């Protein structure tokens, strides 16, 4: 392959997509050869053929928008409260020392298990699902915000001090932009945790959007349809990454 | 070039005779740090003054308290004995009359060159168009025309330090305080940047206090050099650099320049050796971990 082709801007994207198609074709081949049990993994070609059925008969777009809306609501809550929580932990040493281990433990805990409690508190509705997403995504955003603020290079803080910045200016002009890349790592983690829990709880309580659809299709043993519905969950995940990346580039163009 | 006479004077400890028109007066500064090994005196009885338009350097071996002194004069460090005054005003914290340039790379990576340079003007509340006009002037002054919209990541180390310098100059400080700003750069870049500093100093008559461990750099740029001892850092000698101005880096090949370098190295060698021995002893004491 010539060097000019590999250096082209489009090449990594095409290579990634090509590799994905290659892997799908390989799975198709292995299933047809009987190396993979088709009652466990459906043929990729069957999944593709299931898309029109899932879209038309199962109202996938309505469900997609419902799950995306819940994910969006949870994302806003996670971002606002996670970043604010991280800032509080950074500002107040006592609070940090008292709670950082707890927050880290919460980040690693299988929080989906508390859904019965939320069902009791909020009922079997979208609020429970959004709150589950919020709870799951909060800790990583808090911890990464704290890490980003604490990791701000001393010299940048000293530059701010040398220009007599007020604490407010010091935060908004130096600490926050310096911490943004790490905060966004936390946001991506948190939002993915949220999405996993949102779809998981939809599945468990058989309510709402794509999670409920996956549950119903799995109950009917419609494997191809189940995987087609999972593809829409992946689509939401891609949207979350796309939006956070654009937001980060907008807030902090380089570095 | 006429052979210059090497003028030196031993600096007595304790309060210095105050220079009447000094813009910066450092009086009898002593700073001690509490460490697990006990109290360490970083600097002791340091007194010096800088007059308007003067370029003064403080040179010393590693560990002599140069950076501590830099932080004290810049108002970033408190809990010391003695006083620092800028234009008669007691320094109790970062002072608007003092502009600081740090040893480490200190540009804001999320801001373009022009936005970095305009930063102090933005903080001062200067209107956008006016602050960009002023910032452009300082960008041009440090020779970065055409790079205004670039980000620091797109620049070399030397260019980034020039951005820091332009940012500090944009605040129009009465005294510019520099802590080994070219330490991370190669020798050739350092000499060329020295030329740039000389040119700017000539143009703006900018009072400057440079902290460095580089003898060549100190002699190339300064009117006076204070030599510091190894810990506790005291002023050992003042050397007046009587080389003609305007200067360029070509001066480093002159005979007089060599004599100044030899003279200062004579003073520093003993201190640097003492520092090295202390460092090696500490490494031995701590099982090779420093």
pLDDT at A56: 87
Distance CA B155, CA A243 (A): 29
Residues B144 and B68 in one domain: no
> How many structural domains compose chain A?
2
Which residues of A fall within a CB distance of 8 Å from B183? none
Full-model pTM: 0.82
Query: Does A231 reside within a domain?
Result: yes
Q: Are residues B120 and B159 in the same domain?
A: yes
Residue A236 belongs to a domain: yes
* DSSP letter (8 states) at residue B270: H
Of B147, B172, B197, which residue sits at a domain end?
A: B172
CB within 8 Å: A155 and B104: yes
Residues A125 and A205 in one domain: yes
The answer, for A177 touching chain B at a CB cutoff of 8 Å, is: yes
Give whole-number Cα distances, A70 to A48, A217, B143, in Å. Answer: 27, 21, 53
Q: Any chain B CB within 8 A of the CB of A175?
A: no
pLDDT tens, residue by residue, A104-134:
998 888 888 999 999 999 999 999 999 999 9
Q: Quick check: is B1 in a domain? A: no
Q: Which residue has the tokens 């349809």?
A: A225
Per-residue pLDDT at B12: 57
Task: Kindly identify which residue of chain B lies nearest to residue A181, measuring between CA atoms.
Answer: B110
CB atoms within 10 A of CB B290: 8
Contact B94 A253 (CB under 8 A): no
Contact B152 A255 (CB under 8 A): yes
Candidates B108, B103, B114, B104; CA nearest to B152 is B108
The pLDDT of residue B200 is: 87
- Is A169 in Cβ contact with B123 (below 8 Å)? yes
Check whether residue B187 and residue B266 sit in a common domain: yes
What was the pLDDT predicted at B45?
93
Query: B126 is in which domain, residue-wise?
Result: 106-172
Looking at the structure, tell me whether residues A14 and A97 fall in a common domain.
no
Q: Check if the interface score ipTM surpasses 0.90.
A: no
Cis peptide before B232 (omega within 30 of 0): yes
- The verdict on B111 and B202 lying in the same domain is no
How many angstroms separate the CA atoms of A190 and B82, rounded? 51
Residues of chain B positioned with their CB less than 8 A from the CB of A180: 110
For residue B271, tell me if it sits in a domain.
yes
Contacts of B75 in chain A (CB under 8 A): 161-162
Q: Which structural domain range is residue A21 located in?
A: 3-39
Give the whole-angstrom CA distance, residue A180 versus residue A44. Answer: 40
- The answer to whether the CB atoms of A164 and B123 lie below 8 A apart is yes
| Residue A44 in domain | no
- CA B64 – CA B70 distance, rounded (Å): 12
Domain match, B150 and B249 both: no
Chain B residues contacting A via beta carbons under 8 Å: 74-76, 94, 96, 98-100, 102, 104-106, 108-110, 119-120, 123, 151-153, 171
Residue that is last in its domain, among B172, B194, B229 = B172
Chain-chain contact of A254 with B109 (C-beta, under 8 angstroms): yes
Is the residue at A173 inside a domain? yes
- According to DSSP, the residues that pair with B26 across neighbouring strands are B48, B84
- CATH number at A218 reads 1.10.3720.10
Contact B123 A163 (CB under 8 A): yes
Residue B48 in any domain: the answer is: yes
Within this chain, do residues A198 and A113 fall inside the same structural domain, yes or no?
A: yes
Q: Give A153's contacts in chain B (Cβ within 8 Å).
A: 104
Backbone angles phi, psi at B240, to 5 degrees: -90, 125
Q: Which residue, among A61, A65, A212, A77, has the nearest Cα to A132 in the 3D structure?
A: A77
Q: Are residues B26 and B127 in the same domain?
A: no
φ, ψ for residue A198 (rounded to 5)? -60, -50
* Residue A53 in contact with partner chain B when CB distance is under 8 A: no
Do A33 and A98 share a domain, yes or no?
Answer: no
CA dihedral A14, A19, A25, A28 (to 10 degrees): -140
- Whether residues B123 and A165 touch (CB distance < 8 A) is answered with yes
Which value, to the nearest 10 degrees, does the dihedral of the CA atoms of residues B164, B118, A170, A253 take?
-90
**Counted domains in chain B:** 2
* Sheet of strand B38-50, all strands in order from the earlier edge strand to the far edge: B38-50, B24-35, B81-86, B89-90
Tell whether A28 and A120 lie within a shared domain.
no
Q: Are B94 and A159 in contact (CB < 8 Å)?
A: no
Q: Which residues of B43-71 are buried (b: 16+ CB within 10 A; e: fewer)?
A: bbbbbbbbeeebbbbbbbbebbbbbbbbb
Which residue of A155, A156, A162, A173 to mutate against B (max B Cβ within 10 Å)? A162
Look up the CATH number of the domain holding residue B185: 3.40.50.300
Contact residues for B75 (Cβ-Cβ < 8 A; gap 6+): A161, A162, B84, B91, B92, B93, B94, B95, B98
List alpha helices for chain B, DSSP H.
Answer: 66-73, 113-117, 119-123, 128-141, 157-170, 187-204, 215-221, 255-285
**Is position B148 within any domain?**
yes
Identify whether the C-beta of residue B145 lies closer than 8 Å to the C-beta of residue B139: yes
Task: Read off the tokens for A134.
Answer: 């919020």
For residue B12, tell me if it sits in a domain.
yes
The residues, ordered by sequence, that sit 6+ positions from B146 with a Cβ below 8 Å of its Cβ are none
Enumerate the residues of chain B whose CB falls inside 8 A of the CB of residue A250: none
What pLDDT, on the 0 to 100 scale, is given for residue B5?
Answer: 54
For residue B166, the chain A residues in CB contact (below 8 A) are none
Is B110 in contact with A253 (Cβ distance < 8 A)? yes
Residues of chain A predicted below pLDDT 70: 1, 254-255
Does residue B290 form part of some domain?
Answer: no
Same domain, B168 and B280: no
Residue A23 in tokens: 């892997």
User: A55 CB near a chain B CB, below 8 Å?
Assistant: no
pLDDT for position A60: 85
Label residue A26 exposed, middle or buried (CB < 10 Å: 0-12, 13-18, 19+): exposed
DSSP letters, A110-133, are -GGGGHHHHHHHH-SSHHHHHHHH
- Helix/strand/coil for B236: strand
* B102 vs A155, A165, A177: nearest CB: A155
Residues B89 and B202 in one domain: yes
| Residues in CB range of B192: below 8 A, 6 or more apart | B158, B249
Q: Are residues B164 and B25 in the same domain?
A: no
pLDDT in tens, B45-54: 999 999 999 9
Residues A219 and A93 in one domain: yes
Residue stretches of chain B with pLDDT short of 50: 1-4, 13-17, 289-290
- Do B32 and B57 belong together in one domain? yes
**Contact yes or no for A164 and B94 at CB 8 A:** yes
Rounded to an integer, what is the distance from CA A17 to the centroid of its chain?
21
Cβ separation A155–B96 shorter than 8 A: no
What is the per-residue pLDDT for A232?
Answer: 85
Is A118 in contact with A131 (CB distance < 8 Å)?
yes
Residue of A nearest to B169 (CA): A163
State whether B80 and B206 are in the same domain. Answer: yes
The answer to whether residues A61 and A112 belong to one domain is: yes
Which residues from chain A sit within 8 angstroms of residue B98, using beta carbons? 162
Residue B137 lies in a domain: yes
Q: Which of A163, A176, A253 to mutate to test the interface with B (most CBs of B within 10 A)?
A: A163
Of B132, B155, B172, which one is at a domain's C-terminal end? B172
Q: Looking at the domain assignment, is residue B164 inside a domain? A: yes
- pLDDT, position B112: 95
Cβ-contact B144, B170 below 8 angstroms: no
- Do B88 and B112 belong together in one domain? no
């Amino acid at each position: 392959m010539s060097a000019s082709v590999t250096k082209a801007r489009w090449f990594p994207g095409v290579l990634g997509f090509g590799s994905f198609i290659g892997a799908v074709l390989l799975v198709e081949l292995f299933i047809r050869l009987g190396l993979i049990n088709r009652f466990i993994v459906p043929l990729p070609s069957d999944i593709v053929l299931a898309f029109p059925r899932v879209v038309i008969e199962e109202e996938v777009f309505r469900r997609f928008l419902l799950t995306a809306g819940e994910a969006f609501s949870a994302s806003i809550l996670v971002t606002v409260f996670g970043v604010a929580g991280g800032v509080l932990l950074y500002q107040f040493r006592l609070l940090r020392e008292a709670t950082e281990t707890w927050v880290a433990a919460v980040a690693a805990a299988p929080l989906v298990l508390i859904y019965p409690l939320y069902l009791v508190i909020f009922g079997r509705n979208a609020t429970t699902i959004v709150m589950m997403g919020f709870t799951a995504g909060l800790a990583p955003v808090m911890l990464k915000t704290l890490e980003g603020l604490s990791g701000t290079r001393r010299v940048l803080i000293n530059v701010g001090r040398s220009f007599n910045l007020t604490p407010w200016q010091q935060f908004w002009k130096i600490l926050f932009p310096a911490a943004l890349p790490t905060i966004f790592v936390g946001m991506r983690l948190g939002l993915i945790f949220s999405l996993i829990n949102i779809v998981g709880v939809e599945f468990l309580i058989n309510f709402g959007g794509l999670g409920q659809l996956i549950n119903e299709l799995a109950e009917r043993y419609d494997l191809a349809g189940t995987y087609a519905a999972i593809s829409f969950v992946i689509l939401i995940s891609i949207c979350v990454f796309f939006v956070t990346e654009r937001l980060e580039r907008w807030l902090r163009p380089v570095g | 070039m006429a052979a210059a006479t090497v003028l030196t004077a031993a600096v007595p400890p304790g309060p210095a005779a105050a220079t009447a028109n000094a813009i910066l007066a450092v009086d009898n500064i002593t700073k001690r740090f509490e460490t697990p090994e006990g109290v360490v005196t970083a600097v002791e009885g340091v007194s010096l003054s800088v007059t308007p338009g003067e370029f003064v350097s403080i040179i010393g071996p590693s560990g002599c308290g140069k950076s501590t002194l830099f932080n004290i004069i810049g108002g970033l460090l408190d809990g010391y004995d003695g006083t620092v005054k800028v234009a008669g005003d007691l320094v109790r914290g970062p002072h608007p009359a003092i502009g600081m340039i740090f040893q480490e790379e200190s540009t804001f990576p999320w801001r373009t060159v022009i936005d970095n340079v305009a930063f102090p003007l933005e903080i001062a509340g200067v209107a956008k168009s006016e602050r960009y006009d002023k910032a452009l002037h300082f960008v041009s002054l440090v020779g970065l025309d055409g790079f205004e919209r670039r980000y620091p990541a797109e620049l070399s180390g030397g260019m980034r330090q020039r951005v820091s310098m332009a940012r500090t100059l944009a605040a129009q400080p009465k005294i510019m305080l520099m802590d080994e700003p070219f330490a991370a750069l190669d020798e050739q870049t350092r000499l060329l940047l020295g030329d740039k500093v000389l040119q700017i100093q000539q143009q703006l008559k900018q009072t400057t206090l440079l902290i460095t461990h580089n003898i060549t750099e100190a002699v190339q740029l300064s009117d006076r050099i204070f030599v510091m001892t190894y810990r506790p850092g005291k002023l050992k000698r003042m050397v007046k650099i009587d080389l003609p101005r305007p200067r360029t880096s070509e001066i480093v090949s002159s005979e007089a320049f060599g004599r100044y370098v030899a003279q200062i190295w004579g003073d520093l060698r003993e201190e640097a050796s003492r520092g090295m021995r202390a460092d090696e002893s500490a490494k031995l004491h701590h099982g090779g971990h420093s």
